[in-house]
Amino acid sequence: MIILYFILLTLCFTQTIYTDYLVVSNDTIDVFSYQIPENYNANIVHPLLVTFHQWGGNENSNYYTEFDEEANNRNWIMLSPYGGAPNNYNHQGMQNMVEGEILWMMENFNIDKNRIYMVGGSMGGATGSIYANNHLDPTKPMVAATASASGILDCERRAIEMSGNNSMIEWFGGNWDEVPFEYHRNSAIYFADSTQSMHYNLQHTPIYLDFGITEPHRAHAEDLYNLLLNYNENMWIDTEPTGSHGYSVFNENHVCEWLSQYSLNFLNEPQTPYSINVNLDEPSRAYWIEATNQLVENQFIRINANWVQADGERWEYIAINQINNSDSLILHVLNQDIEDFSLELSTPLNLGFSGPIFNNQIDINSVNIIGLSENCQINYTLENNIIWLNSTISESGDSCYTEYSLSAGEYTISFVINSLEAYVDINQDGVWNVIDVIMVINHILETNLLNNNQQEFADLNEDEYIDILDIVEIMNIILRR
Please answer whether residues 87 and 170 qualify as being in contact, where contact means their C-beta atoms are separated by less than 8 angstroms.
Answer: yes
Domain boundaries 2-268, corresponding CATH code: 3.40.50.1820
What is the pTM (predicted TM-score) of this model?
0.84
CATH of 423-480, one of 1.10.1330.10, 3.40.50.720, 3.30.420.10, 1.20.1080.10: 1.10.1330.10
Tens place of pLDDT per residue across the chain (481 aa): 444 444 444 444 457 899 999 988 889 999 999 999 999 999 999 999 999 999 999 999 999 999 999 999 999 999 999 999 999 999 999 999 999 999 999 999 999 999 999 999 999 999 999 999 999 999 999 999 999 999 999 999 999 999 999 999 999 999 999 999 999 999 999 999 999 999 999 999 999 999 998 887 789 999 999 999 999 999 999 999 998 999 999 999 999 999 999 999 988 887 899 999 999 999 999 999 999 999 999 999 999 999 987 666 656 789 999 999 999 999 999 886 676 788 999 999 999 999 888 776 667 778 889 998 878 888 888 888 899 998 777 767 777 777 889 999 999 998 887 665 556 778 777 677 888 899 999 999 988 888 877 888 888 877 888 999 888 888 887 776 5
Q: What ranges do the domains of the chain cover?
A: 2-268, 276-420, 423-480
Asked if the domains 2-268 and 423-480 are classified in one and the same CATH topology, the answer is no
Q: For 242-295, how does the pLDDT look when each residue is reduced to its tens digit (9 = 90+)?
A: 989 999 999 999 999 999 999 999 888 878 999 999 999 999 999 999 999 999
Q: For 87-127, how does the pLDDT look when each residue is reduced to its tens digit (9 = 90+)?
A: 999 999 999 999 999 999 999 999 999 999 999 999 999 99
pLDDT at 188: 98
